[in-house]
Homo-oligomer: A and B are copies of this chain.
Amino acid sequence: MSRFLKARQDTLPPAVTDLAEQLVEAGYKVTQPRLAVLKAATAHKGAFSVHELEQWLIARGESPGIASIFRTVRLLCDNNLLQRIHGLDECHRYSLGAGHGHHVVCTNCGLLVRFDNCGVQELIKGLERSTGFQITAHLVEMFGLCPRCAQMQAAA
Q: Which residues of B contact A138 (CB under 8 A)?
A: 140-143
Q: Which residues of B contact A139 (CB under 8 A)?
A: 86, 88, 139-143
A123 pairs with B133, CB closer than 8 A: no
Q: Which residues of B contact A122 (CB under 8 A)?
A: 119
| Interface band, chain A | 35 or more
Q: Which residues of B contact A123 (CB under 8 A)?
A: 118-120
A22 close to chain B: CB less than 8 A = no
Q: Which residues of B contact A106 (CB under 8 A)?
A: 133
Bitwise interface map of A from 61 to 90 toward B, beta carbon under 8 Å scored 1, else 0: 000000000000000000000000010100
A136 close to chain B: CB less than 8 A = yes
**Distance between Cα atoms of A92 and B122 in the complex (Å):** 27
Given contacts A92-B91, A142-B127, contact A136 B107 (CB under 8 A): yes
Closest to A143 in B: B137
Q: Which residues of B contact A131 (CB under 8 A)?
A: 104, 113, 115, 146-147
A57 close to chain B: CB less than 8 A = no
Given contacts A86-B139, A88-B139, A139-B88, contact A147 B120 (CB under 8 A): no
Q: Which residues of B contact A91 (CB under 8 A)?
A: 86, 91-92
Q: Which residues of chain A have a CB within 8 Å of any CB of chain B?
A: 86, 88, 91-92, 104, 106-107, 113, 115, 118-120, 122-124, 127-128, 130-147, 150
Closest 7 CB pairs of A and B: A135-B144, A132-B147, A91-B91, A137-B143, A139-B141, A136-B144, A134-B145
